[in-house]
Amino acid sequence: MEAKSLLSGFQLKQTNPLFQTFKEHQYTKFQYQNCASFKPHDSKKLFLQRVGVNFSLKCKKNVDDKLENVVCLGNDDSVIGVRRKKLAVFVSGGGSNFKSIHQACVEGLVHGDIAVLVTNKPDCGGAEYARRKDISVISFPKTSIVPTGLSSVDLVTALSRNLEVDFILLAGYLKLLPVELVRAYPKSILNIHPSLLPAFGGKGYYGMKVHKAVIASGARFSGPTVHFVDEHYDTGRILAQSVVPVLANDSAEELAARVLREEHRLYVEVTSALCEERIAWREDGVPLIQSKENPKQYY
């Protein structure tokens, strides 16, 4: 896709925050039947879980009649009143996590759609898969090897104005994101790393290098970490982790395969929560996921 076609004729869209924070003098009243409600203290975000067959809801707010940011989870796990999210996925290689997320979107496990794939290697397996699935591919950054790549400014413009991307998912993308993009998408970029951060993370820790370091350290456990992205390598707030054992005679390849299987499960689970707006932020800045089965529980 040419940069020109992505950048022309679009005006910047103001993106609503993931959570609306009400002022202290505002309040929300709900009258409901067959419906259990829960309002997380920290996020000021209202979640409703449908518990009966018949469902009716009346809402009043003393400062605005408009009801915003309401999530209703039906008995069939469908999401009511939440717009499907547009996702951009960044890859540098085969993109197995990208493929698993895309399949989850197709199967309805994720309330969103992959609008574009961004890669620094236009011929990588992930990019080829995207083209087969009619997903737009953007090359980034522009280099002597990839002269068709976008600049940082043009990338931000393409994602935010043209494609109106809500969230960015890094899935084996080996480049540091430009500051412009990180600042354009605060609390909206996730990465998955193949170790239990903060251990074995940072610049130079990627792919098989991570698993070799884990085994060499004598660690008995490893596993993937999903974290929000900031301006540095692997230092953003941790959102979710999953533990797998490191066996006595593991090779790096065996450990990598075990961790990767868990990556595929965990990243889909977290992406589902992200698209259903089930992420809350504690007062100390730690992000939490609201359980879909029990909205009163966070993990």
Could you list the active site residues? 193
The answer to whether the beta carbons of residues 153 and 134 sit under 8 Å apart is no
Distance, CA of 185 to chain centre: 11
What is the number of residues in the chain? 299
Task: Report residue 257: phi and psi, to 5°.
Answer: -65, -40
Taking residue 191's Cβ as centre, other Cβ atoms within 10 Å add up to: 24
Helix, strand, or coil here: 139?
Answer: strand
Amino acid residing at 223: G
| Nearest C-alpha neighbor of 195 from the set 280, 238, 259, 254 | 259
> For 193, what's the count of Cα atoms within 13 Å in the CB-facing half-sphere?
29
Percent helix, strand, coil in the chain, to 5, is 25, 25, 50
Which residue has tokens 């961790």? 259
Sheet order of strands, 70-73 included:
35-38, 46-50, 70-73, 79-80
In whole angstroms, give the CA distance from residue 29 to residue 3.
Answer: 48
Task: Report residue 228: phi and psi, to 5°.
Answer: -75, 150
Helices (H), 91-207: 96-106, 125-132, 152-157, 179-184
| Nearest C-alpha neighbor of 57 from the set 29, 31, 27 | 31
